Amino acid sequence: MQHIAVIGAGTMGNGIAHVFAQKGYQVHLIDISAASLEKGMATIAKNLDRMVAKERISANDKEDTLKNITTFTSLKEGVANRDLVIEAATENLDIKLSIFKDLDGLCEGKTILATNTSSISITQIGAATERPEKVIGMHFMNPVPIMKLVEIIRGYSTSDEVTKTIMELSSKLGKTPTEVNDYPGFVANRILMPMINESIETLYNGVAGVQEIDEVMKLGMAHPMGPLQLADFIGLDVCLSILKVMYDGFKNPKYAPCPLLVNMVMAGKLGVKSGEGFYDYSASRKAEKVSAQFVR
């Protein structure tokens, strides 16, 4: 398994392409937008430059990694002759189902189809294809080149052979694959998102401010990043989408998104990606200044 395709050149997609290419795999990075591909490749180059500066890799390693990635705007051309295709598009069920229906017709029968979804049912995605036994979840963590975990989610029909292959492949990337079953939110987000949502509820109810909530969790619970800062980093729209999937899946009120989160997303305050969330990122991508709306 040496030939990989990654669909989506955004934050997760370019990170996944980066780690495969750095390990010597031949990667096709696919996006309908040429501008997104250009931006994604620039991000990979920038991240590799940081690794060179820290003497974790050599300049030659950087060049070899970049040579291992070829970009495509055509899905048909990009997924041709691939052993594994990893979808890393927007966290939207309809978009993912459409992509997997297309992939099923475009890819060879041997090709394994994986999704980087953080919450959507692998079983449902697999059912959109004629090869549900070859559909699996590979949930990488952000930032992909740094974070070690990959949640490997097997759908109802995913075969033992495919699961074993993807577990071994993830280990070869230097990651720690952890197998979980296909339920809303899997493990990572089933635990993380309620904590983030409760942190937003705590702010919404006026118990404490943004910095105070984050400081309690960083200094009191040894979290490297406070939950509100983490929500900004993930993207408040992504957090909302995951909570909706979990609420729809379980019908349990504890997964209902906080009204403050809903309003912020409707207002376009999505966190780092939009320049403002719980913190103001207009001057720096670091969470140094609380957004004006939350300053007491």
Q: What is the pLDDT of residue 223?
A: 96
At residue 87, the 3 state secondary structure works out as strand
Residue 296 belongs to a domain:
no
Final residue before a domain boundary, out of 132, 150, 181: 181
- C-beta atoms surrounding 267 within 10 Å: 12
- The structural domain count of the chain equals 2
* Confidence label for 222 from pLDDT (cuts 50, 70 and 90): very high
In terms of domains, do 137 and 62 share one? Answer: yes
The letter for the amino acid at 196 is: I
In terms of domains, do 247 and 162 share one? Answer: no
- For the cut 90, the answer to whether the pLDDT of residue 7 exceeds it is yes
- Predicted TM-score (pTM) of the model is 0.92
Residue 130 belongs to a domain:
yes
Active site residues: 118, 139, 151, 189
Query: Exposure string (b/e) for 35-72, b if CB count within 10 Å is 16 or more?
Result: ebbeebbebbeebbeebeeeeebeeeebeebeebbebb
Residue 295 belongs to a domain:
no
The model's pLDDT over 167-212, given as tens digits with 9 standing for 90+, comes to 999 999 999 999 999 999 999 999 999 999 999 999 999 999 999 9
The model's pLDDT over 73-117, given as tens digits with 9 standing for 90+, comes to 999 999 999 999 999 998 899 999 999 999 999 999 999 999 999
Percent of the chain with pLDDT over 70: 100
Final residue before a domain boundary, out of 156, 181, 206: 181
- Mean pLDDT, residues 28-47 taken together: 98
Backbone angles phi, psi at 28, to 5 degrees: -105, 120
Q: What is the pLDDT of residue 285?
A: 87
Final residue before a domain boundary, out of 149, 181, 213: 181
- Tell me how far apart the alpha carbons of residues 232 and 287 are, in angstroms, rounded to a whole number: 9
In terms of domains, do 254 and 167 share one? Answer: no
279 and 210 Cβ atoms separated by less than 8 Å: yes
Q: What is the pLDDT of residue 142?
A: 93
The model's pLDDT over 232-271, given as tens digits with 9 standing for 90+, comes to 999 999 999 999 999 999 999 999 999 999 999 999 999 9
The CATH number given to whatever domain includes residue 141 is 3.40.50.720
In terms of domains, do 65 and 168 share one? Answer: yes
- Mean pLDDT, residues 209-233 taken together: 97
In terms of domains, do 168 and 241 share one? Answer: no
In terms of domains, do 177 and 193 share one? Answer: no
- Mean pLDDT, residues 149-160 taken together: 98
pLDDT averaged over every residue in the chain: 97
* Confidence label for 295 from pLDDT (cuts 50, 70 and 90): confident
In terms of domains, do 229 and 175 share one? Answer: no
Q: Which domain holds residue 151?
A: 3-181
Residue 40 belongs to a domain:
yes
In terms of domains, do 49 and 159 share one? Answer: yes
In terms of domains, do 157 and 15 share one? Answer: yes
In terms of domains, do 53 and 158 share one? Answer: yes
